[in-house]
A and B are shown apart, each in its own frame.
Chain A
């Protein structure tokens, strides 16, 4: 099923000058991080036009660290993670429907322009992924155990018995009681939380160095959510892998993530160390996200409303700052700058980047005087 003639979908990346995040630290010739994404673009040609789901995304992640990616629905979080996994180019049909450019380096190996079959061999072995809805993500006709066995045997030349032992061991590790019995159960016989645990067991069966969790708790009960997050954190400590957690909910990742990346309309509008982004956010959109976050210490009714307006079109992206139609401060920067020029990511110190035309001092003032007191 692999055919290198189809790989022209990976067009050469844009010139470095056009790169949206030519920050000095990343241009420096220092050693690449374990996962290095540079100016990633994932576009889908459709009947309505070119959908720019991810449009110039740059970030990096070290082993043992956790990156949280947040943003509202449609901001390109899943498309980004599927791009890292090579899952936009897994089949011939997919390849004909996507245009990707930029760089994704896993331990130095470039994946965007790589042969899809090479990426396939990394998938499940060096990088793995768990999905939002474990019921639909598991095959209904095969037992949980056989699905884990399959994941193990793709990359390990072992007999079924050994693989089965490994599956039971993994089920035990993720906290499934009586794993030697449950291993033969089918997904519909598991509860939601158990299913997600089984998915995690399946993803980790080959000790991947990178784990991507795309909204791993959204489909679960609140009580189970915390358990699953704890489990991911424990496993990360144990295996020392790099983890990307994707969510709508800033609260979920605030304590879990080392770094945070906020996406809006297929781009990064703010990123940096988690405590910086969380406690000193620099972008009006991040303020809005924080405002829409449910908080335990507040009355439910007092909760701030979600960011007003609707997500931007990914086909006709608003000119200038993509957030400008919804931004309460769109008129603060002079000369209508906000509507004509796209703001680049700029560093505010300590690896904290944000993309807004307002002067950093101005934003600092608005945050401390107007926003923070209301949260």
Chain B
């Protein structure tokens, strides 16, 4: 319930603020829709069809209704049915927004999921190993690389990866996205470089986070108790140390996952993948309001969902949260 409220508040904000931010009047919007040199009559007609002449709250209501029940547009002779969830039509291509986003989702989800798995596993593992031997050569090297990972922009690391592994040594040839179910091998091969590029930044963050968390938990009293039982050090570290150090990481992971669309935006640009990120960039460049609106809403929805998942995970991990 709270969640729905948040989502609708966000939608509301986006709906009202976006056109203003873009500095466009309804006339300009309608003009965009038609394209070149419209007559005033054309503009009036489009405004009527798209409901741009109605008061803003009504427009908002129509918009919400469209998402949940769909909209029937009557443009001249042919009637168009915009299916649920209806975010309207692109001003530029006149294609329905949602199916377009939907067709691009697998690319972004593949990119995000693969990168997330990669960075969590490598980041946490590196962090734990570093924490076990702080000051060791491994620790210093790992933290040095992590520092680079945190500070180097993805434009750079991505371009570097491309230059090295696609052009210099063509291990990963440049190719378009291949759906997972069509050919899992090709799917993975296309995505390896984007995964690594995107994961590099995050795993560096996670390695540092895990290392700090582990160093802190390993000095806790309950670690001493675990050792006093005669447990093997490996069990002490994993079952008692890592378990406790993981809670803050889960929180951060949820937030990062929610914001991942931002990261995907750059990665998709660099590797010319046609995902939601690229879609967003195109929409913004073209000033295509319905597309921007759709993508923004999707991102907001994603963030809220991730936060919900984090809350559930958190309760599963920490029994003290479960009670209160």
Contacts and interface: CB of A to CB of B under 8 A. Distances in A.
Interface stretch (A44-52, A125-133, A264-272, A344-352): A125-133
Contacts of B227: 87, 90-91, 120, 123
Interface stretch (B65-73, B119-127, B228-236, B302-310): B228-236
Interface stretch (A106-114, A148-156, A222-230): A148-156
Majority secondary structure, B binding face? helix
Contacts of B318: 140-141
A16 interface: no
A155 B222 CA distance: 19
A139 B225 contact: yes
Nearest to B240: A139
A137 B225 contact: yes
A123 B230 contact: yes
B78 interface: no
A137 B232 contact: no
Residue from A90, A123, A186 with most neighbouring chain B CB atoms (10 Å): A90
A136 interface: yes
Nearest to B220: A136
A188 interface: yes
A137 B229 contact: no
Contacts of A150: 229, 231
A125 to B, nearest CB: 6
Contacts of B240: 139
A124 B320 contact: no
A128 B228 CA distance: 7
A121 interface: yes
Interface string B10-22: 0000000000000
Give the interface residue-count category, chain B: 20 to 34
Contact of A141 (B132, B233, B234, B319): B319
A92 B222 CA distance: 18
B140 interface: no
A131 B229 contact: no
Given A139-B240, A140-B320, A186-B319, A91 B222 contact: no
Contacts of B133: 92-93
A154 B231 contact: yes
Contacts of B225: 131, 137-139, 199, 202
Contacts of A121: 230
B228 A85 contact: yes
A154 B230 CA distance: 7
Contacts of A123: 227-230
A214 to B, nearest CB: 10
Interface string A185-199: 010110000000001
Contacts of B29: none
Interface string B220-253: 1110111111111110110010011000000000
B50 interface: no
B262 interface: no
A2 interface: yes
A151 B320 contact: no
B232 A1 contact: yes
Interface in B185-234: 218, 220-222, 224-234
Interface in B261-278: none
B234 A1 contact: yes
A154 B240 CA distance: 14
Nearest to A82: B224
Nearest to A139: B222
A122 interface: yes
Nearest to B224: A87
Contacts of A129: 228
Given A131-B225, A137-B225, A139-B222, A188 B320 contact: yes
18 contacts: A1-B237, A85-B228, A91-B218, A91-B233, A93-B132, A93-B134, A120-B231, A120-B233, A133-B221, A136-B221, A137-B224, A138-B222, A140-B318, A141-B244, A141-B318, A154-B230, A155-B230, A188-B319
Interface of A: 1-2, 82, 85, 87, 90-93, 120-125, 128-129, 131, 133, 136-141, 143, 150-151, 154-155, 186, 188-189, 199, 202-203
Given A122-B230, A137-B222, A202-B229, 12 more contacts: A91-B132, A120-B232, A121-B230, A124-B229, A133-B221, A139-B225, A140-B222, A140-B318, A140-B320, A150-B229, A150-B231, A186-B320
